[in-house]
Structure 1
Amino acid sequence: MGFTLWPGIYVPDWNLLTGGATAYGALMGLTSILTEKQSPMAYSKFGSIVGVSQLPSKIGMFIIYIPSVIVAILNRNASDVTRFQIINAVTFIHFMKRVLEVAFVHVYSGTTDLKTSVTIAATYATSAALNLAIVRRMPTSTFTRGFYIAGLTCFIIGELVNGYHHILLRRLRTQSNKETSKINELKEQGERKKKYFLPRGGLFNYAVTPHYAAEQLSFLGIMLLSQNTASIAVNSFPFIYLTIRSKSTYEWYKTRLSDDERKELQTRKKLLPGLW
């Protein structure tokens, strides 16, 4: 039998599922450190990085998120325990929100490496499936109201803040595209170069990637709702991965902004406003 640590985190029995999930989470975290620090994965701003097979970014992002939506749908009747149903619901909401944002919010112009899309899709979907399998086997007596409230609060705030800043990015990109048609593509030394802008509004005024921090808050909510050590391990990689990618994004802006905007960049943090 498992046991409970203060202040209520459950440590499940060590078996193939919980041990494998814990090892998987550690492996994904380590892989994020080793690969993302060396070369950011080739999607979004970094989609132009060398890739064997390129496809439009919108299609690549659909590939990343849709499998996790399917995982949640397939698990909707896996247990009638309320906490499991809630965790399955927030998993569905998180990834379905991302699918809808890909379809209706984000504005894409570049390409995504197919291998990168499939790799990230498999990571997210596997993590979601493992987490749901672990929670389904937990004793219902281990779930507490405090973790339920804290987890749901973190998840809701994270999703709302993340979504709001994605809308701000859309407005910036739309405005940038209009500017591009007029003055943002200039001939310099015989090459056409695109002018980039720092995102503004909301927490973008204080950090370069607050939407990453908000997504991490959503995953913290899922951890708290899941309330066990194996789930913490399997959901830990977004904290490592998005933190490293935030630094890469900050450095990316350094090489593409005007002198005035580079000065403004120096007043902003990378991920957490006022902290880092």
Structure 2
Amino acid sequence: MATLLGQLLFPPPPSAIVAAMSAISLVSLANAGASELRGRHLQYSKFWDSQPNKVGIKISSRAGMFALYAPAAIAGLVSFGFPAVAASPRGWLLSLALSVHFLKRVFEVLFVHQYSGAMILDSVIPISLSYFLSTVTAIYAQYLTQGLPEPEVDLKYAGITLFLLGISGNFYHHLILSKLRNKDDKGYKIPKGGLFGLVICPHYLFEIIGFVGISCISQTLYVLSFTLGTVLYLMGRSYVTRRWYLSKFPNIPKNVKALIPFVF
């Protein structure tokens, strides 16, 4: 296993910060996935929004979601101003992929998503900070690979393909979700179209594909750790989402999976 990772990844840089962030990202995201299974949801989900006794200053979901993603998008764009990023093809591609990922999220927040609830202000800051720090750390970890030997297996072109597939599929399924209800409709409906006939959360599946693509572009331990953590979180999230839909809509076919067609 160590030999395989050595062929696929850059050598770990001598940075205690990046090493610590790699472990923190993996553990915290995996724990978030486990928390979803235990019924403790992130404070911008439809599951949490339905829970009583929510306290704190409420802001509109659109403003809250914009605040989640905008700082990370800005960090990606600002990184192009540093010559060290532009000098490295992988660094440039990584910054571009992260910028596109978060700019797409900002675009969806402003022009695609429909909202039925609110967010608590106290929950926005830590989540926004985590996205921002993850983006900055990924770019910094890539910068530290300069001068190190390239991995034996070059995955960046496969990564570009996977990233484009993931971000396109994710956007397409978000469009389907956005058209389920009109502006004044606050209820939930069964999604149809795309891969929704096979899985409850195809948008999560394509988000994972996109992050796998980013990992292949980067080929650093930090981005791999973040991607693995994201996979574990979205597995927990999709499982709970499927269970929620089955409880609300008993007519959903039981063979529809949560995340991976015919498998999970």
Which of the five TM-score ranges fits, normalised by the shorter chain?
0.7 to 0.9
* Secondary structure at the counterpart of residue 112 of structure 1: strand
Task: State the one-letter code of the partner of 2:130.
Answer: T
* Secondary structure at the counterpart of residue 55 of structure 1: strand
Q: Which structure 2 segments of 5+ residues have no match?
A: none
In the alignment, the residues of structure 2 paired with residue 93 and residue 195 of structure 1 have an alpha-carbon distance, to the nearest angstrom, of 31
| 1:134 alignment partner, one of 134, 137, 141 | 141
Offset at residue 5 of structure 1 (A): 4.1
Moved more, 153-162 or 57-66: 57-66
Cα deviation 1:145-199 (Å, max 9, x = unaligned) = 841111111100000000000111111123xx67x5xxxxxxxxxxxxx753210
Which residue of structure 2 lines up, in the alignment, with residue 187 of structure 1? none
In the alignment, the residues of structure 1 paired with residue 13 and residue 7 of structure 2 have an alpha-carbon distance, to the nearest angstrom, of 18
Which residue of structure 1 lines up, in the alignment, with residue 207 of structure 2? 215
Is this contact kept in 2: 1:196–1:256, CA < 8 A? no
Offset at residue 223 of structure 1 (A): 0.8
Which residue of structure 2 lines up, in the alignment, with residue 204 of structure 1? 196
Offset at residue 12 of structure 1 (A): 1.5
Task: Give the greater-gyration-radius structure (CA).
Answer: 1
Which residue of structure 1 lines up, in the alignment, with residue 70 of structure 2? 66
| 1:269 alignment partner, one of 252, 257, 262 | 257
Offset at residue 14 of structure 1 (A): 4.1
Is this contact kept in 1: 2:246–2:252, CA < 8 A? no
In the alignment, the residues of structure 2 paired with residue 116 and residue 255 of structure 1 have an alpha-carbon distance, to the nearest angstrom, of 27
Distance 1:26 1:44, change over 3 A: closer
In the alignment, the residues of structure 1 paired with residue 220 and residue 4 of structure 2 have an alpha-carbon distance, to the nearest angstrom, of 9
Alignment of 1:167-186 (within 5 A): 167-174=175-182
* Secondary structure at the counterpart of residue 167 of structure 2: helix
Alignment of 1:79-228 (within 5 A): 79=84, 80-139=87-146, 141-142=149-150, 146-174=154-182, 196-228=188-220
* Secondary structure at the counterpart of residue 199 of structure 1: coil
Distance 1:168 1:214, change over 3 A: same
Which residue of structure 1 lines up, in the alignment, with residue 42 of structure 2? 41
Report % sequence identity. Answer: 28
Offset at residue 68 of structure 1 (A): 0.5
TM-score (norm 1): 0.84
Distance 1:83 1:195, change over 3 A: closer
Is 1:26 aligned to residue 26 of structure 2?
yes
Which residue of structure 2 lines up, in the alignment, with residue 249 of structure 1? 241
